[in-house]
C-alpha cells in the first residue's frame, strides 16, 4: 500500500527506442517503466532517448507487516 506520494510524474523525452529494450542499451528505470506502461496502453508514448538528467523519488509505503517504510528510488524523474 503506497502512502505517499499521491501520484508520480515521470515525464519523458522524444525519440524512439525499440521494444523490448535490449540489454546493451543500458536502460534506466524510467525507460523500463515507460516501456511496460506503453505495452498496456498505447496512448502512453514509447520509451525514448536517454535523458541527460534524472532525479530520484521517495516513496512511503506499508510493507507486508504493516510497517511504514521510506525508500528512495534513483533515476525515476526526467529533469533534462
Q: What is the pLDDT of residue 31?
A: 81
Q: pTM for this structure?
A: 0.51
Most confident range (mean pLDDT) of 25-34, 49-58, 69-78 is: 69-78
In this structure, the number of other CB atoms found within 10 A of the CB of residue 46 comes to 17
Q: How many domains, in total, are found in the chain?
A: 1
Tell me the pLDDT tens digit for each residue of 15-28.
Answer: 666 667 767 666 77
Beta bridge partners of 4: 60
For the chain, what is the mean pLDDT?
Answer: 84
Domain limits for position 63: 2-78
Answer for the pair 60, 69: CB distance below 8 angstroms, yes or no.
Answer: yes
Amino acid at each position: 500500500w503506497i502512502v505517499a506520494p499521491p501520484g508520480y510524474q515521470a515525464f519523458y523525452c522524444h525519440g524512439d527506442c525499440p521494444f523490448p529494450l535490449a540489454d546493451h542499451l543500458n536502460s534506466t528505470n524510467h525507460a523500463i517503466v515507460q516501456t511496460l506502461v506503453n505495452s498496456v496502453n498505447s496512448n502512453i508514448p514509447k520509451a525514448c532517448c536517454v535523458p541527460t538528467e534524472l532525479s530520484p523519488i521517495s516513496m512511503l509505503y506499508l510493507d507486508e507487516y504493516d510497517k511504514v517504510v521510506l525508500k528512495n528510488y534513483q533515476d525515476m524523474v526526467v529533469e533534462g
